[in-house]
Amino acid sequence: MADAALVLTGSPSLAPLLARGALLSPFKRPAPDAEFPRTRLVLPGLRVDLARLAAYERVCGFPTGEDALPLTYPHVLGFPLAMRLMSGRDFPLPLLGLVHTSITVTRHRGMPATGAYELAVRVEGLAAHRRGTEATVVTEVREGGDVVWESSSTYLARHGTPRPAGAPGAPGAPGEDVRKPLPAVAEWRLAEDVGRRYAAASGDRNPIHLHPLTARLFGFPRAIAHGMWTLARCLAAHGTPDSCRVGAAFKAPVLLPGTVTYAAEDGRFELRDGDERVHVAGDVYPA
């Protein structure tokens, strides 16, 4: 059965959604077989706020003033719709503590910043993960009826779960992706306010990114960078063709302030710390 579509008249405000999700989080009971919202949220006639786009480009390292959306920017446009779904009573995973673990993005052609677009976001399903339950959220952007950009993001709610032998991520499990470190390209010193600057540009004001005091409430010694900022910063350095596919995994948090190494070779890239721990790893290849 096709998902029911709910057409919105405007982009939802993130602040009340964050508050609602936080209040409901203690009452959630995550499980891979739980029911989840089947509604597909649609926002037609969307136009980009160029001033906000310029702020995003500056904090992520993209060139400013070009009539082209950075590859990662449609995720920012779709995030309020995703938050509306994930903060609702019928979404079984708690919003507080939810971790963005991976994203796959396909851009079919260049996207003018002055274009008009239709956004659609839906929860595709839930799956068992070795550390809990993972939800997949799909975002599509259409222009003139054609899908020009689409993504699939996974979000993990951590909770106790059985770990059968041979499960993905278990020691010696088949399919474990072990790759040699990429050659270093640049060292980046990240300021303490990167999380607040990205939050102002993107609207994602999760408290773990804003200040050491609020980050400590969730078990982090300092504020951590947004995963999507780390990906955007890597792609700004790497470059992407108009038609491409990007896959990235968020492996470890980046503490702020801090120093990280950007490494890349051919279509691969990664961000790692001085101990060679990888924070984000991904690939770029033609669509």
State the pLDDT at residue 65: 86
Gap between the Cα atoms of 240 and 70, Å rounded: 9
Q: Taking residues 126-146, what's their average pLDDT?
A: 96
How far apart CA 203 and CA 53 sit, in angstroms, is 12
Measured distance CA(14)–CA(11) in Å, rounded: 9
On whether the CB atoms of residues 225 and 256 are closer than 8 A, the answer is yes
Higher pLDDT, 158 or 249: 249
Radius of gyration of the chain, Cα coordinates, nearest whole angstrom: 18
Rounded mean pLDDT of the chain?
Answer: 91
Q: What percent of the chain has pLDDT over 90?
A: 81
Number of other CB atoms surrounding residue 114 within 10 Å: 11
- Read off the pLDDT band of 183 (50, 70, 90): very high
| Two tokens, residue 156 | 């993990």
Q: How far apart are CA 26 and CA 270, in angstroms?
A: 35
Backbone angles phi, psi at 99, to 5 degrees: -115, 125
Helices (H), the chain: 14-24, 50-60, 73-86, 194-202, 212-216, 227-238
pLDDT tier at 174, thresholds 50, 70, 90 = very low
Concatenated DSSP letters of 101-163: EEEEEEE-S---TT-EEEEEEEEEEEEEETTEEEEEEEEEEEETTEEEEEEEEEEEEE-----
Half-sphere exposure of 159 (CA within 13 A, CB side): 16
Question: What are the tens digits of pLDDT across the range 64-123?
Answer: 988 999 999 999 999 999 999 999 999 999 998 888 999 999 999 999 999 999 999 999
149 φ/ψ angles, rounded to the nearest 5 degrees: -155, 140
Task: Say what the pLDDT of residue 249 is.
Answer: 97
Give percent of the chain with pLDDT exceeding 70.
93
pTM of the model: 0.91
Question: Which residues neighbour 171 within 8 Å (Cβ) at sequence distance 6 or greater?
Answer: none
| pLDDT tens sequence across 17-49 | 999 999 999 999 999 999 999 999 999 999 999
